């Protein structure tokens, strides 16, 4: 399965090892899913996970981000004219569409509901993704 992981899933995986977000990330690490990224997404993973409020160990954070970058399939995405509640999330949709992702996995599904129509790609929670992969 080809997926795009929203930053909140990666940060949650780092904060709560063994939780649902961590299980979703582990499916990528185990090779059960192909992570699609571009340089903007990788940069956001890095910047957001480095925020002091998360108090993540630098070495653990760096190891996971480097592993995800190595395992991920890079995608070149064209800009879209899409209005989402949070315009910063548009890059995830752009990569998902350009990389022919099966799903976008996010802890904030409502942030991916366009104001001007529906997405042509499913947006699901980490729990729904893990459950789908277990079937």
Would you kindly state where each structural domain of the chain is located, as residue ranges? 2-134
The whole-angstrom separation of Cα 71 and Cα 67 is: 6
Higher pLDDT, 55 or 109: 109
What percent of the chain clears pLDDT 70, i.e. is strictly above it?
100
Q: What pLDDT does residue 84 have?
A: 84
| DSSP code for 114 | -
- Which residues, in sequence order, are CB contacts of 89 under 8 Å at separation 6+? 6, 111, 112
φ/ψ of 123, rounded to 5, equals -120, 120
pLDDT of amino acid 113: 85
The fourth-level CATH superfamily of domain 2-134 is 5'-nuclease (3.40.50.1010)
Q: How far apart are CA 29 and CA 69, in angstroms?
A: 11
Residue 29: predicted pLDDT? 97
Q: How long a stretch of residues is the chain? A: 135
Q: CB within 8 A of 88, min separation 6: which ones?
A: 44
Read off the pTM.
0.95
**SS3 state at 4:** strand
pLDDT above 80: residue 116: no
């Amino acid at each position: 399965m080809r997926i795009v992981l929203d930053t909140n899933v990666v940060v949650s995986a780092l904060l709560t090892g063994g939780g649902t977000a961590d299980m979703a990330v582990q499916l990528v690490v185990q090779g059960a899913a192909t992570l699609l990224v571009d340089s903007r997404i990788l940069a956001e993973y890095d910047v957001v996970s480095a925020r002091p409020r998360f108090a993540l160990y630098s070495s653990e954070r760096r190891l996971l981000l480097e592993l995800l970058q190595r395992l991920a399939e890079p995608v070149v995405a064209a800009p879209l004219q899409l209005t989402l509640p949070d315009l910063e999330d548009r890059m995830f949709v752009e990569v998902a569409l350009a990389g022919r992702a099966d799903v976008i996995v996010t802890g904030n599904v409502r942030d991916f509901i366009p104001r001007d129509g529906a997405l042509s790609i499913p947006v699901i929670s980490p729990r729904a993704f893990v459950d789908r992969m277990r079937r």
